[in-house]
Structure 1
């Protein structure tokens, strides 16, 4: 949202790209991101304050561009991460997002009295697999608001976890609280499991095949691929020979089945390409390897002969199957 202090929403690359997809008859989900922490370290605005009025002005600039265009508007991105810790349990985070939601609800009702294509969700909850730290009075009030507000269809979740059954904790928390509402999963992955293995020694078979020192660590090979993209087979061999990856290569299908089995899944999405934020020169053993989640290996693998990005290992066929239910 702070981007709109510098540019009009109609000129924003993310919004333009999404609306172009809508024109091509794709479904579209747009999340409104209010990054109060760690990006700015500001306390979250309180209703009635000058800072709150400024935020609602930004919202008013966006809504005419996207309401009745996108299918789903998510109010928030990762609110409990993107606000100071002190504001997560004192009511401030709930007051803020409920105020924004009421503003959006009022806009939609006034401008589309006969019905609107765009439905509203609250988003999104993180780290529910760490309940001692991340499930609290703020998340409980969040779910109560979702359940009891007729104009809100449900909540979004972002289960990035460190074990194959890690996302179950999210479902165990939200599903009983949803009532007749549904949930989105606009991000999900095993990225924290991948991170746990970045300092592993590379597979012996990979080291022998490509003449790489046996004590090389996984993160070093990934960094080399980012600096000079690999032939597709070499990237595939790295992941295929890594048991922590190979044994989870159907995670996308397996997790989609669990989401759908609740009967409450509305939409799930996953990342398509390895974008610039994933592929900086500073990739090291402490980096979060988002790039292993992407459907296409656009940064670590050389383009296909026709110039297209090569598929990342393992995900593409499961991604296609998921779209057929």
Structure 2
């Protein structure tokens, strides 16, 4: 059942994306996380028996353990057009949604209508807006019909990306933000703040919050400096690090990472690698800086940080790849497991995450 306590405004939790089955309660305890976020692909679940989905089962297990939960709903339309309202395909979408709402509404704390809709589709104009507006209205109508008043699931819509860039503030984006503002039943907008600079985080927040009602809030279910990390994948790795660990002079950052993927290293070596890279160290306080920025708006509901990036990746990292493994609270598959089989904490994010939990008190 959705938490009956007052919402922890400005909370910081753990994000598992589509990998809710990876949730490890020991890891959550180590970093003090109480909020869990993940998403499900509405085209991958059994439309008649969504409770049989492994990610849904994992979500209910964390609810039973007392965690607060955020569930985002993803509709992938990258390879097809959105269905016309009233068509059999559109009716099927709403029936599948209704079956899922039967088991999650009033139980998850927050439901997010969408998961990066402007990235997961080939149509980014009016067709997208109409689809998500009809879906949102169906969710709102379901909650009203079931009189979910004592333990209401909060409703958000999104998640939106890179609104720091004026070119991304398209008519369709403006329409979605206007729709969110027009519905009193919607609590706010979900944002994915993957940025190369802190100024980008600030610019996106300023824009998004100016477009919705003053009483509405925002989620940051994903945030990072991933585009800053990516710019440095083709850099030469630290000369001192290469000399100490036997890498040829001039070895690229991406090549060091690829080598450790193929043959995981002791945690001390992974930490040394990160500490020798100035582009990484210069942003070691970004999590605290961004969370303070988000909380200073007094409109942050919950932010969640990655617990699952590239945990099982085996393919090498190319200079053009996005190095998500640098982002996680726990060390990725580049690092040998601890003797008890658990994962090492990733430098410096796990300790910073713990510190920010303490600052909520």
Counterpart secondary structure, 1:28? strand
Higher strand fraction (1 or 2): 2
SS at match of 1:32: strand
Are 1:66 and 2:101 an aligned pair? no
CA–CA separation in structure 1 for the residues paired with 2:48 and 2:326? 32
In structure 2, the residue matched to 1:245 is: 280
Higher relative contact order (CA 8 A, sep 6+): 2
Aligned residues of 2:163 and 2:208 also touching (Cα < 8 A):
no
Query: Which stretch shows the higher mean deviation, 14-23 or 67-76?
Result: 14-23
- Corresponding residue pairs, total: 317
Superposition pairs of residues 104-115 of structure 1, within 5 angstroms: 104-115=139-150
Q: TM-score, normalised by structure 1?
A: 0.93
Residue 53 (structure 1) aligned to one of 85, 88, 91 = 91
Residue of 47, 53, 65 corresponding to 1:24: 65
Name 2:170's counterpart in structure 1. Answer: 136
Q: Is the contact between residue 274 and residue 297 of structure 1 (CA under 8 Å) also seen in structure 2?
A: no
**In 1, distance between residues paired with 2:97 and 2:316?**
35
Deviation at 1:7, TM superposition (A): 7.8
Look up the match of 1:88.
Answer: 124
The alpha-carbon deviation at position 111 of structure 1 amounts to: 1.5
Counterpart CA distance in 2 for 1:46 and 1:254 is 44
Deviation by residue 1:126-172 (Cα, 9 ceiling, x = unmatched): 1212221x211111111111112011000100011122322122112
- 2:191 corresponds to which of 153, 157, 180: 157
Shift of 1:276: 4.5
Deviation at 1:6, TM superposition (A): 7.6
CA distance in 1, matches of 2:258, 2:119: 28
**1:154-198 deviation line (CA, Å, top 9, x unaligned):** 010001112232212211211112221000000010111111100
Q: Which segments of 5 or more consecutive residues in structure 1 lack a partner in the other structure?
A: none
What is the aligned partner in structure 2 of residue 35 from structure 1? 76
Residue among 251, 254, 257 paired with 2:289 = 254
Q: 1:173 aligns with which of 207, 232, 246?
A: 207
CA distance in 1, matches of 2:173, 2:120: 14
Among 326, 329, 333, the residue aligned to 1:295: 329
Partner of 1:206: 241
- What is the CA–CA distance in structure 1 between the aligned matches of 2:243 and 2:198, rounded to whole Å? 30
- Indicate which of 132, 147, 172 corresponds to 1:97: 132
Take 1:62 and 1:4, find their aligned partners in 2: how far apart are those partners?
9
Deviates further, 260-269 or 137-146: 137-146
Provide structure 2 residue ranges, at least 5 long, that are not aligned to the other structure: 1-41
Deviates further, 123-132 or 20-29: 123-132
Structure 1 residue 88 displacement after superposition: 2.0
Aligned counterparts of 2:198 and 2:184: Cα–Cα separation in 1? 34
Q: State the shift of 1:282 in Å.
A: 4.0
Check conservation: 1:273, 1:297, Cα contact below 8 A: no
